[in-house]
A = this chain, B = another copy of it.
Amino acid sequence: MNAHPFDEALRLAPAGGHRWSGTPSAAYQNMVGPFGGLTAASFVQALLQHPERLGEPLALTVNFAGPVADAPFVIEARPVRTNRSSQHWTLTLSHDDAEGRPLVATTGTAVTALRRETWHGSDTPMPAVPPPEACAPAARLQWQPEWLRRYELRPVSGALPAVWDGGGDASTSEVWVRDAPPRPLDHAALAAMCDIFFPRIWLRRATQVPAGTVSMTAYFHASAAELAACGESFLFARAAGQEFRHGFCDQSAQLWSAAGRVLATSHQIVYYRQ
């Protein structure tokens, strides 16, 4: 039996110390380099494989500093401070340049932590929406990056504009999402799904300008056991922009389990041209 393409893409081999080596996956290719969500997931995977890890992923920031080349890469996941119940990590993904020196393509930080039972509550209830079975699959883009084929997306609202006429007036999208083919949920998959939204500027302006994520942060609100209990179900995801100015816009997102529990909240700042 073959591994799931996501697990294939996440494969990292120990390369000594805090280093892990990997190769880009054709299955998750974007316009230039891999899908950013896969890079975020690879950072999470490096944490999960690290023998010194304390606790589970809580917070992750990924900065897309330069293109990830179609060539072997090294991820360094270094625990810089370990406390009683939390641990702080610095992350880099780098390639060797022509002279064999590491050139950093991605930087990041993460916090892993022990989760405890405490008082809990939510101020972000999942909206009342039709179930995924009642929603049509997403329309395809004219150019279709390969990674999009790795997700089953069923928009509920704020789908890609049918006509690119510059007439957009809002930036909120709601969508059901799961891996294609389905795969049991874990923190790496959840990190990747935080980045499945097309650029908010496309929706807001109904104009397809060049755009790309500069930095993304994800906060994980569920334990590994809670994610595993979601199985291969769809997640409900919502994203909205707040401000678009000077060639940069932000995006805030929430991801809920099908049962309506917040699993992750996520934010990013995105470059756009014009």
Binding site for B on A (CB under 8 A): 58-59, 61, 63, 65-66, 80-81, 83, 86, 88, 90, 92, 103-105, 107-109, 111, 113, 115-124, 170-172, 204-205, 214-215, 217, 219, 221-223, 240-248, 250, 252, 254, 262, 265, 267, 269, 271-274
Contact = CB atoms under 8 A, between A and B. Distances in A.
11 contacts: A59-B269, A61-B109, A65-B80, A90-B90, A118-B246, A121-B245, A219-B248, A221-B243, A243-B262, A252-B252, A252-B265
B214 A58 contact: yes
A123 B240 contact: yes
B58 A248 contact: yes
A265 B243 CA distance: 8
B59 A113 contact: no
Given A123-B241, A217-B267, A262-B243, A88 B111 contact: no
Contact of A244 (B58, B66, B103, B120): B120
Copies of this chain present: 2
A108 B91 CA distance: 11
A225 to B, nearest CB: 11
- A interface: dominant SS: strand
A81 B105 CA distance: 8
B250 A219 contact: yes
Contacts of A250: 219, 221, 265
A221 B248 contact: yes
Nearest to A59: B215
Nearest to A80: B104
Contacts of A247: 113, 115-116, 118
Contacts of A86: 214, 271
